[in-house]
């Protein structure tokens, strides 16, 4: 389990964020604190289904990739099964958006990629499926679910897949399939928290999202504020707090062929 650091030294009051009984830390003291730390707080794990998945892709791809593996930028959590039946690992994050933004680290160069596909499912049914054209160099890519897709419903669990077909020049093999998969759940903001977010500074907004377990918006808020140099270290701090420190210094590359894709030109200079 990736250990998530509490921020109780900053945040003191407990209140409910959504109608799904998710325990959430209040941010009254956070938004007025002069030394804000961006750290992800684990929300209550869902009871409706078991959102297991795969945050890291396969290792060992010859000259196809750099030293890192294909990685989904999403938290993982371990949960004990009842009656001593072991543990399961959730690959799951929360969003408040109808059309959230998804994040991946792709270690493959364009010459090695044969095809890339993103799939979002509701149960066994596709909500959205599209091929993706990635840039020529390895890096972090992000794209927003387009408005042409069906918007996410509050409380529902959605299963996503990011699949790549790779062909390594040094390996006399057919195309190799690599993938990551996980889950996203849309939640509804408590009116009090929504009011705080409207008056918060960009850095405060990022910290509030992270403190309340709203993963996708915490990442996107940093990207939306890419021109603010003070927020560049927040990217590394947020990823480190979710056990993704090995990705925190990786460059961003412009992506993708979906509408409203982020360019992320300011954030890519993070290097810690």
Which of 50-54, 184-188, 223-227, 249-253 has the highest average model confidence (pLDDT)? 184-188
Per-residue confidence (pLDDT) for residue 63, from 0 to 100? 60
Per-residue confidence (pLDDT) for residue 34, from 0 to 100? 39
Checking if the pLDDT of 101 tops 90, the result is: yes
What CA–CA distance (Å, rounded) separates 51 from 53? 6
Question: Exposed, middle or buried: residue 245 (CB in 10 Å: 0-12, 13-18, 19+)?
Answer: middle
Residue with tokens 């958006």, as numbered in its chain: 97
Eight-class DSSP state of 3:
P
Per-residue confidence (pLDDT) for residue 28, from 0 to 100? 35
CB-based contact 215:75 (threshold 8 Å)? yes
For residues 118 and 177, the model is more confident at 118
Which of 112-116, 205-209, 267-271 has the highest average model confidence (pLDDT)? 205-209
Provide the residue count of the chain: 272
pLDDT tens digits for 228-252? Answer: 666 778 888 999 999 999 998 898 8
Sign of the C-alpha dihedral, residues 17, 20, 21, 25? negative
**What is the chain's mean pLDDT, rounded?**
78
What CA–CA distance (Å, rounded) separates 117 from 164? 7
Closest by CA position to 252, among listed 56, 96, 73, 67: 73
Checking if the pLDDT of 30 tops 90, the result is: no
CB-based contact 99:166 (threshold 8 Å)? no
Strand pairing of 139-144 and 101-106? antiparallel
What CA–CA distance (Å, rounded) separates 50 from 113? 31
Per-residue confidence (pLDDT) for residue 263, from 0 to 100? 34
Confidence band, pLDDT 50/70/90 cuts, at residue 54? very high
Neighbouring residues of 181: CB distance < 8 A, sequence distance ≥ 6: 53, 54, 72, 91, 159, 160, 161, 162
> For the whole model, what pTM was predicted?
0.80
CB-based contact 15:27 (threshold 8 Å)? no
Checking if the pLDDT of 71 tops 80, the result is: yes
Alpha helices in 111-268 (DSSP H): 191-199, 202-211, 215-224, 232-241
Checking if the pLDDT of 176 tops 50, the result is: yes
Rg (CA), the chain: 18
Closest by CA position to 142, among listed 226, 61, 42: 226
CA 193 to chain centre: 21
């Amino acid at each position: 389990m990736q250990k998530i650091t509490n921020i109780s030294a900053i945040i003191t009051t407990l209140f409910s964020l959504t109608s799904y009984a998710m325990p959430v830390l209040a941010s009254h003291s956070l938004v007025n604190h002069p030394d804000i730390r961006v750290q992800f707080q684990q929300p209550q794990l869902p009871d409706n289904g078991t959102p297991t998945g795969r945050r890291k892709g396969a290792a060992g791809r010859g000259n196809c990739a750099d030293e890192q593996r294909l990685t989904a930028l999403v938290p993982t959590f371990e949960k004990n099964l009842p009656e001593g039946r072991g543990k399961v690992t959730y690959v799951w994050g929360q969003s408040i958006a109808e059309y959230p933004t998804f994040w991946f680290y792709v270690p493959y160069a364009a010459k090695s990629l044969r095809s890339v596909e993103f799939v979002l499912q509701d149960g066994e049914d596709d909500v959205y499926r599209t091929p993706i054209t990635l840039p020529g160099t390895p890096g972090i890519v992000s794209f927003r679910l387009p408005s042409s897709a069906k918007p996410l419903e509050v409380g529902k669990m959605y299963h996503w897949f990011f699949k790549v077909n790779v062909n390594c020049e040094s390996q006399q093999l057919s195309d190799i399939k690599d993938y990551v998969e996980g889950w996203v759940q849309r939640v509804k903001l408590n009116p009090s928290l929504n009011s705080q977010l409207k008056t918060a500074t960009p850095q405060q907004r990022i910290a509030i999202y992270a403190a309340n377990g709203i993963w996708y918006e915490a990442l996107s808020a940093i990207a939306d504020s890419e021109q603010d140099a003070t927020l560049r270290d927040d990217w590394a701090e947020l990823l480190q707090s979710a056990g993704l420190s090995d990705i925190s210094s990786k460059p961003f590359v412009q992506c993708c062929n979906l509408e409203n894709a982020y360019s992320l030109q300011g954030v890519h200079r993070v290097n810690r």
